[in-house]
Amino acid sequence: MRREEYRNWRHLFKLDPDKLINDEHLDRICLSGTDAIMIGGSSGVTFENTVELLSRVRRYSLPCVMEISNMDSIVPGFDLYFIPVVLNSRQPDWIVGMHQQAVKTFGHRIPWEMIVPEGYCILNPDCEAARLTDSQTDLDQSDVSAYAKLGEQMFQMPVIYLEYSGSFGDMELVHEVAQHLNHARLFYGGGIVDVHTATEAAAAADTIIVGNIVYENLEAALQTVQVKTE
Ligand code: 1GP
């Protein structure tokens, strides 16, 4: 795929290599009309379970991208690699530390043309990603907008990702942040569980990411793809 194609995506399913999905469910997800599959997770992601899931998704013609959460699980063969930079982490490791180690380790083998940095702002204090990254989540609209603007303008990040993993976020805030961005793509993920939440999120953000509901209620997950035609 052409790198810039991701800028047209409206809907993604995020699949966790550490979770089980049977062939029938995966078939329906991959044929759902979603724009792409993103593979990634906060814990339990290994080289082995990532390769396995990638090879199963590769039977289908839609793009498959990896969101890298640790250096040991990086697998060749994805269409693009999304790299989270957690702008509101209190620990520099999640902003530049691990990234610097990855560049040091992989050096000239990094296909830079396939790398898409994501300026993350993690906003649900109870999610695993917030705990793991020690993110500062008690932020108001102007705080989050400032992170988004900083990511876009100072770091030239092509994607800003508002992450509410596990709970549906404050759509007013998401809408407000969108007003502050000029060219970065605004990704929203967290608590999209049906067509209603998907529609609301898609009205505020450029791209919505649907995760857990795939494993909890497949039919409801599949309905979220409708936002593409609205
Ligand atoms: C997680 O943003 C995604 O990284 C999706 O969140 O699992 O709550 O849908 P959910």
The torsion angles phi and psi of 62, rounded to 5 degrees, stand at -80, 155
Distance CA 47, CA 75 (A): 6
For residue 42, the model assigns a pLDDT of 86
> What is the DSSP-derived secondary structure letter of residue 226?
G
Around ligand 1, the residues with Cβ closer than 6 Å are 14, 163, 165-166, 189-192, 209-213
pLDDT (tens digit, 9 = 90+) per residue, 102-161? 999 998 899 999 999 999 999 999 999 999 999 999 999 999 999 999 999 999 999 999
Task: Please compute Rg for the chain using Cα positions.
Answer: 16
For residue 229, the model assigns a pLDDT of 85
Distance CA 70, CA 75 (A): 11
Mean pLDDT of 19-40: 98
Sign of the alpha-carbon torsion through 60, 184, 197, 145: positive
In the block, tokens 């993604």 appear at 12
Total domain count, the chain: 1
| 3-class SS of residue 186 | strand
Ligand 1 mean position to 199 CA, how many Å? 15
Tell me, rounded to whole angstroms, the distance of Cα 189 from its chain centroid. Answer: 7
What are residue 85's DSSP bridge partners? 119
Distance CA 212, CA 6 (A): 22
Write the single-letter amino acid at 84: P
CB 176 within 8 A of CB 195: no
Q: What angle do CA 213, 224, 45 make, to 5 degrees?
A: 40
Ligand 1 mean position to 166 CA, how many Å? 6
Distance CA 31, CA 61 (A): 9
Distance CA 215, CA 193 (A): 11
Instruction: Write the CATH number for 80.
Output: 3.20.20.390
pLDDT (tens digit, 9 = 90+) per residue, 68-91? 998 889 999 999 999 999 999 999
Distance CA 128, CA 42 (A): 7
Band the pLDDT of 1: cuts 50, 70, 90: confident
| 3-class SS of residue 160 | strand
CB 198 within 8 A of CB 169: no
Ligand 1 mean position to 163 CA, how many Å? 7
- Domain extent, residue 199, equals 3-229
Instruction: Give the ligand 1 atom nearest the CA of 42.
Output: 4
For residue 230, the model assigns a pLDDT of 80
Distance CA 223, CA 194 (A): 6
Cα→Cα distances 217→151, 181, 193, 200, Å: 34, 33, 8, 19
Nearest residue to 84 (alpha-carbon basis) of 159, 30, 170: 159
Name the residue with the closest Cα to ligand 1, atom 2: 189
Name the residue with the closest Cα to ligand 1, atom 9: 211
pLDDT (tens digit, 9 = 90+) per residue, 167-216? 999 999 999 999 999 999 999 999 999 999 999 999 999 999 999 999 99
